[in-house]
């Protein structure tokens, strides 16, 4: 008779060891909650590898992709000013217009530019600033290659903006109130440079906040926590809305604006160049340091994996 037939009695040596439920569960990775941005960093580093390869081996195609981003920025930025002008033309009496509503709607309209750039896989300088900074922190690229990538990207953005500017020069799309809005914007932006140190500081802060907004949006898109396309679009639209409505400074958008107005009305090249230079510096701080470098550091698990405890070393 088998042990089973005899009532299931087993010798002590053959008895199964009962494992507590808590011990039977696979242990969770303790670093998952400590470094939640690992997906973001991994996605950015993968994107950097593609961009670095393109900028070195397929440079002309990389510039073409960047030109598409510049073209889209130009088209949507002009739309932004056209919307503001259209609402400002609606008079309510006593000199009151719908201009404020126009600024709201115009900023939302401009927000779609980043969505179009993202889903057409175009190359925008301001988000690439964050990407190369993450790559430099993790030693996946050197600053020589990073600057080459950024230089080609800005060249493409500029060329795309120039194409839009030339097309608009020979059309009536920016005549009248639309051009008046754009000229006023140029005067406001170049005044920061002409006003000396106080204006430079104001421009720099606006540029820092601008690219911080843009790259926080890209962080949310890249971090793997947002699965649906609609939410990704809303994140990107909101980030651009904030910078457009608050009047923050975006180096590429400013470059395209100066090109569009310059070909029709003319701009002071020195003041325009000064604006773009300061905006580039602020954009680097906002996107490269406050998002790229900061998020790379707080999600750097190499010290933790090596048993050092990471922040235990300071």
Burial of 47: CB neighbours in 10 Å, binned 0-12, 13-18, 19+? middle
**CA distances from residue 73 to 44, 125, 253 in whole angstroms, order as listed:** 22, 11, 6
Which residues lie below 8 Å from residue 286, measured CB to CB, with a gap of 6+?
207, 208, 209, 210, 211, 212, 213, 215
Which residues lie below 8 Å from residue 200, measured CB to CB, with a gap of 6+?
192, 193, 278
- Residue 314 to residue 309: CA distance in whole angstroms: 10
Q: What is the pLDDT of residue 186?
A: 98
Q: What is the pLDDT of residue 20?
A: 47
- Residue 119 to residue 69: CA distance in whole angstroms: 11
All structural domains of the chain: 38-297 (1.20.1080.10)
pLDDT tens, per residue, the chain with 314 residues: 444 444 444 444 444 444 444 444 444 566 667 777 788 999 999 999 999 999 999 999 999 999 999 999 999 999 999 999 999 999 998 889 999 999 999 999 999 999 999 999 999 999 999 999 999 999 999 999 999 999 999 999 999 999 999 999 999 999 999 999 999 999 999 999 999 999 999 999 999 999 999 999 999 999 988 999 999 999 999 999 999 999 999 999 999 999 999 999 999 999 999 999 999 999 999 999 999 999 999 988 876 666 654 454 44
Which residues lie below 8 Å from residue 256, measured CB to CB, with a gap of 6+?
70, 73, 74, 77, 157, 160, 161, 164, 165
Q: Do 272 and 165 touch, CB atoms closer than 8 A?
A: no
């Amino acid at each position: 008779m088998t042990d089973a037939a005899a009532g299931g009695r087993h010798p002590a040596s053959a008895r199964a060891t009962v494992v507590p439920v808590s011990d039977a569960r696979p242990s969770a990775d303790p670093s998952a909650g400590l470094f939640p941005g690992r997906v973001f960093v991994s996605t950015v580093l993968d994107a950097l590898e593609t961009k670095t390869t393109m900028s070195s081996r397929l440079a002309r195609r990389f510039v073409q992709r960047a030109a598409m981003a510049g073209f889209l920025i130009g088209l949507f930025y002009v739309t932004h000013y056209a919307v503001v002008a259209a609402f400002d033309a609606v008079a309510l009496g006593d000199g009151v217009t719908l201009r404020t509503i126009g600024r709201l709607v115009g900023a939302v309209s401009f927000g779609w530019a980043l969505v179009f750039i993202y889903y057409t896989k175009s190359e925008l300088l301001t988000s690439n600033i964050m990407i190369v900074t993450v790559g430099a922190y993790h030693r996946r690229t050197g600053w020589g290659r990073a600057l080459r990538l950024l230089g080609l990207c800005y060249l493409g953005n500029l060329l795309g903006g120039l194409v839009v500017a030339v097309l608009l020069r020979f059309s009536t799309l920016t005549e009248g109130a639309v051009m008046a809005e754009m000229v006023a914007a140029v005067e406001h932006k170049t005044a920061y440079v002409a006003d000396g140190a106080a204006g430079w500081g104001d421009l720099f802060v606006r540029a820092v906040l601008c690219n911080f907004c843009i790259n926080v949006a890209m962080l949310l898109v890249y971090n793997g926590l947002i699965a649906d396309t609609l939410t990704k679009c809303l994140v990107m639209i909101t980030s651009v809305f904030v910078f457009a409505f608050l009047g923050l400074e975006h180096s590429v958008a400013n470059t395209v604006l100066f090109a569009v107005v310059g070909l029709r009305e003319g701009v002071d090249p020195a003041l325009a160049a000064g604006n773009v230079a300061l905006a580039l510096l602020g954009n680097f701080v906002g996107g490269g340091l406050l998002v790229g470098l900061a998020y790379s550091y707080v999600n750097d698990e190499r010290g933790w994996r090596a048993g050092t405890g990471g922040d235990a070393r300071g």
